[in-house]
Amino acid sequence: MSYHHLSVLVHRQAEKYGDKIALKYRNYETAQWIPISWNQFSQTVRQAASAFVALGVKEQESIGIFSQNKPEWFYTDFAAFANRAITIPFYATSSPAQAQYIINDAEIRFLFVGEQYQYDAAFNVFGLCASLQQLIIFDRSVVKDPRDVSSIYFDEFMALGEGLPHNDEVEERTSRASYDDLANILYTSGTTGEPKGVMLHHSCYLEQFYAHDERLTTMTDKDVSINFLPLTHVFEKAWCYLCIHKGVQICINLIPADIQMTIKEIRPTLMCSVPRFWEKVYAGVQEKINETTGFKKTLMQDAIKIGRIHNIDYLRLGKTPPLMIHLKYKFYEKTVYQLLKKTVGIENGNFFPTAGAAVPDEINEFVHSVGINMIVGYGLTESTATVSCTLPVGYDIGSVGVIMPGVEVKIGENDEILLRGKSITKGYYKKAEATAAAFDADGWFRTGDAGYFKNGQLYLTERIKDLFKTSNGKYVAPQALETKLVIDRYIDQIAIIADQRKFVSALIVPVYGFVKEYAKEKGIEYTDMAELLQHPKIVGLFRARIDTLQQQFAHYEQIKRFTLLTEPFSMERGELTNTLKLKRSVVNRNYAEVIDKMYAE
């Protein structure tokens, strides 16, 4: 395998693959997927790189990208690398205040914005950002503010590079590109405090290419990956760079909410996702089984049972399944499993990396039982994504797998997972104190995650910062309980409350549709959602389901009281980060009265 610096990677791949398809995106007006060949990809990147010189972009200058996933994102990224510039991704959902913080912290002059929301948010803070000179707008349909005299559209930006007027300058800069150059600064939205800019150098990505080539041996240039997570997320970003390095075709899902539709149109072999995606697949199948009766129901239940014996009890442990089990499995593979995978859009699946949160054991077992090759992994922005991942044989349900080649891991004080290696960040941008605090004297990076090793595999227990201490002095890990409960079909979101309180309580966002259906079945009358969620029968339903799911927890860890909320936690109110992680301090503040009521005698 040859390894190329990101500044030339696309061009080297174009020399190898020519007119083969590199990228695809959906044209929403025609509902067609538009292919972009490696040659087109390379030419567009060269033109954009020339346009950067025309704009006056300097080497190691920071360029901002504030957009949904789009092909233009890739052009901008790789054109910046050709000029030895640094790209800084913003979440498409970032608020104007978050955008303002990053622009000022990284002293961004040129900000690429995707659609109307991102343009409006950026234009609103333009006057508050001393460094900001110009917005470049990806989407032609964005309506500019009448006061806007400096913004240009992406096609106008590209026109500056037409005929490659500054190609010599670009080539000269590229020749100076080094693995010691900074590639990205990724701002973590942080569940606590202000965002920190994680510095990732080109060497971090190179190291991950080595590690993944060694580990993911079935990934080839015949694969098709659909990108579902935002390119701001280190998991998707590092994955897409790996796909380009491998010659994998990337299909860009432009609208996050459309993934259920686009995945069926593309039927990919690869897709990175967060556990929530598989939780929804699982909930859908459970729903189908609940609706079905008679022979069909028995068949579906038996298929999952046989799949579990075949794949979990035998293949996973490297054993040969008994002949009868194997024959039954083969039958279900062509019928039940095939139909299930087709319904989701993943019948061509090679493997599906999943990370970003804990994968509930039930989901993990179910996905493997029906023959979906899910790889569970663990990583951080600071580790350029993957630290560990499960192997096809010998993985333990509940673990996050075996450590990647090239990464050193040890368990420190308070069971904290410590990391060392070339893929680990060198620190936080312009934050010397935070950087110093993140590393110990021997250069080990403190992850803030607690864990342990068993059978050579890494297990996560909790976020150290998230450990709650009840007023009785007992420690409670909220994530363990949340992960267990969120698989319930009636529960959409949950926040455990316990810190400095005398017992554990919870705020629960129900799946409103299912609650309404249940009310209809039971003949419960109500005027609005608030009244329905306080109805004794509904409260009783949730009580029973919570008690069943939390049996394995110690008495002091169990939820004693809970409140069903009439609206979901939201990013707008600051209760969720851009990666949909719970900001506990904000939830506690926003729901202070509701919480206090649960603890009133």
How many angstroms separate the CA atoms of 337 and 373, rounded?
A: 12
pLDDT at 191 over 60: no
pLDDT at 195 over 60: yes
pLDDT at 189 over 70: no
How many angstroms separate the CA atoms of 344 and 43, rounded?
A: 35
pLDDT of residue 193: 62
CATH topology of domain 9-177+216-266: Rossmann fold (3.40.50)
For 13-19, which contacts have Cβ atoms below 8 Å and span 24 or more sequence positions? 13/38, 13/42, 13/244, 13/245, 13/247, 14/38, 14/39, 14/41, 14/42, 16/247, 17/221, 17/247
Residue 471 — very low, low, confident or very high, per pLDDT cuts 50/70/90?
confident
- Residue ranges, comma separated, of all CATH 3.40.50.12780 domains in the chain are 9-177+216-266
pLDDT of residue 65: 98
Q: Which pair of tokens denotes residue 203?
A: 């060497």
Whose tokens are 């990208």? That residue is 65
Mean pLDDT of the chain: 94
pLDDT of residue 578: 79
pTM of the model: 0.88
Q: What are phi and psi of 146, to 5 degrees?
A: -55, -25
How many angstroms separate the CA atoms of 236 and 555, rounded?
A: 39
pLDDT of residue 358: 83
CATH topology of domain 467-599: GMP Synthetase; Chain A, domain 3 (3.30.300)
- Residue ranges, comma separated, of all CATH 3.30.300.30 domains in the chain are 467-599
pLDDT tens digits, one per residue of 405-459: 999 999 999 899 999 999 999 999 999 999 999 999 999 999 999 999 999 999 9
Cα–Cα distances (Å) from 289 to 283, 296, 303, 572, 585, in that order, read 10, 9, 11, 36, 39
pLDDT at 56 over 70: yes
pLDDT tens digits, one per residue of 543-581: 999 999 998 888 888 999 999 999 999 988 989 887 778
Residue 376 — very low, low, confident or very high, per pLDDT cuts 50/70/90?
very high
pLDDT tens digits, one per residue of 288-311: 898 889 999 999 999 999 999 999
Buried b (16+ CB within 10 A) or exposed e, 426-453: bbbbebeeebeebbeeeebbbbbbbbee
pLDDT tens digits, one per residue of 88-142: 999 998 889 889 999 999 999 999 999 999 999 999 999 999 999 999 999 999 9
pLDDT tens digits, one per residue of 210-269: 999 999 999 999 999 999 899 999 999 999 999 999 999 999 999 988 999 999 999 999
pLDDT at 47 over 90: yes
pLDDT at 276 over 90: no
**Any alpha helices (H) in 177-311, and if so which ranges?**
202-215, 234-246, 259-266, 275-291, 294-307
Q: Which residues, listed in sequence order, are joined to residue 355 by a DSSP beta bridge?
A: none
